[in-house]
Amino acid sequence: MSSAVEANCDGLVGPTHSYVGLSPGNLASQKNAGEVSNPQAAALEGLGKMRRLADLGIPQFVLPPHERPAVSLLKSLGFSGSEAAVIEQAWKDAPALAAAACSASPMWAANAATVTPSADTADGRVHFTPANLLTNLHRSLEGPQTTRALRRLFPDEARFAVHDPLPAQPHFADEGAANHVRLCADHGAPGVNLFVWGREAWGHWDGKFPARQTREAFEAIQRRHGAARSVFPRQGRAAIEGGAFHNDVVCVGTRECLFFHERAFEDRAGMERAVRAAAEGLFEPAFVEVSEADLPMADLVASYLFNSQLLVIPGEGRLVLLAPAETRDNPRAFAVAESLASSNGAIGRVEYVDVRQSMRNGGGPACLRLRVVLTDAELAATNSAQRFTPGLHAVLADWVRRRYRDRLAPADLADPDLLIESREALDELSQILDLGGDFYPFQRAS
Ligand code: SUG
Each residue's pLDDT tens digit, 216-247 = 999 999 999 999 999 999 999 999 999 999 99
Rounded to the nearest angstrom, the distance between the alpha carbon of 389 and the centre of ligand 1 is 27
Q: Are 166 and 133 in contact, with CB atoms under 8 Å apart?
A: no
Q: Are 234 and 207 in contact, with CB atoms under 8 Å apart?
A: no
- Looking at residue 2, its pLDDT comes to 66
118 found inside a domain = yes
Give CA separation, 322 vs 201, 210, 308, 358, in Å.
35, 28, 5, 15
Q: Is the pLDDT of residue 445 over 90?
A: no
Each residue's pLDDT tens digit, 20-66 = 999 999 999 999 999 999 999 999 999 999 999 999 999 999 999 99
Distance in angstroms (rounded) separating the CA atoms of residues 48 and 350: 17
Longest dimension (CA), the chain: 65
Count the neighbouring beta carbons within 10 Å of the beta carbon of residue 318.
Answer: 14
Quick one: which H or E segment has residue 94? none
90 found inside a domain = no
Measured in whole angstroms, how far is the alpha carbon of residue 207 from the centre of its chain? 23
Give CA separation, 396 vs 13, 43, 53, 130, in Å.
11, 9, 16, 25
Mutate to test the pocket of ligand 1, among 10, 248, 367, 368 (most ligand atoms within 8 A of CB): 367
Taking residues 239-264, what's their average pLDDT? 97
- Spatial neighbors of 384 by CB under 8 A, at least 6 apart, are none
Nearest to 238 by CA among 260, 210, 217, 265: 265
CATH number, domain containing residue 368:
3.75.10.20
Each residue's pLDDT tens digit, 274-314 = 999 999 999 999 999 999 999 999 999 999 999 999 999 98
Each residue's pLDDT tens digit, 340-374 = 989 989 999 999 999 999 999 999 999 999 999 99
- Looking at residue 97, its pLDDT comes to 98
Taking residues 398-404, what's their average pLDDT? 98
Mean pLDDT of the chain: 97
Give the torsion through C-alpha atoms of 23, 25, 28, 32, to 10 deg: 50
Each residue's pLDDT tens digit, 90-141 = 999 999 999 999 999 999 999 999 999 999 999 999 999 999 999 999 999 9
Domain residues for the domain of 414 are 4-68+103-436
Rounded to the nearest angstrom, the distance between the alpha carbon of 311 and the centre of ligand 1 is 23
83 found inside a domain = no
Amino acid at 201: A
Mutate to test the pocket of ligand 1, among 22, 31, 196, 326 (most ligand atoms within 8 A of CB): 22
The minimum-distance atom of ligand 1 relative to the CA of 176 is: 10
122 found inside a domain = yes
pLDDT-above-90 percentage for the chain: 98
Q: Is the pLDDT of residue 1 over 80?
A: no
Q: CA 166, 12, 315: angle at the middle one, nearest 5?
A: 95
41 found inside a domain = yes
- Give catalytic residue positions: 175, 246, 367
Distance in angstroms (rounded) separating the CA atoms of residues 393 and 417: 27
Q: Measuring from atom 8 of ligand 1, which residue has the nearest CA?
A: 367
pLDDT-above-70 percentage for the chain: 99
Distance in angstroms (rounded) separating the CA atoms of residues 319 and 57: 14
Nearest to 111 by CA among 248, 226, 18, 244: 248
Distance in angstroms (rounded) separating the CA atoms of residues 327 and 299: 9
Rounded to the nearest angstrom, the distance between the alpha carbon of 182 and the centre of ligand 1 is 22
What is residue 411's DSSP assignment?
G
3 state DSSP class of 331: helix
The minimum-distance atom of ligand 1 relative to the CA of 212 is: 1
Tell me the sheet residues that pair with 231: 194
3 state DSSP class of 160: strand
Tell me the sheet residues that pair with 182: 193
Distance in angstroms (rounded) separating the CA atoms of residues 25 and 215: 19
292 found inside a domain = yes
443 found inside a domain = no
Task: Give me the number of domains the chain comprises.
Answer: 1
DSSP code string of 374-423: EEHHHHHTS-GGGB--HHHHHHHHHHHHHH--S-B-GGGGG-HHHHHHHH
Nearest to 254 by CA among 2, 7, 40, 3: 7
Q: Are strands 126-130 and 191-195 parallel, antiparallel or unpaired?
A: unpaired
Rounded to the nearest angstrom, the distance between the alpha carbon of 26 and the centre of ligand 1 is 7
95 found inside a domain = no
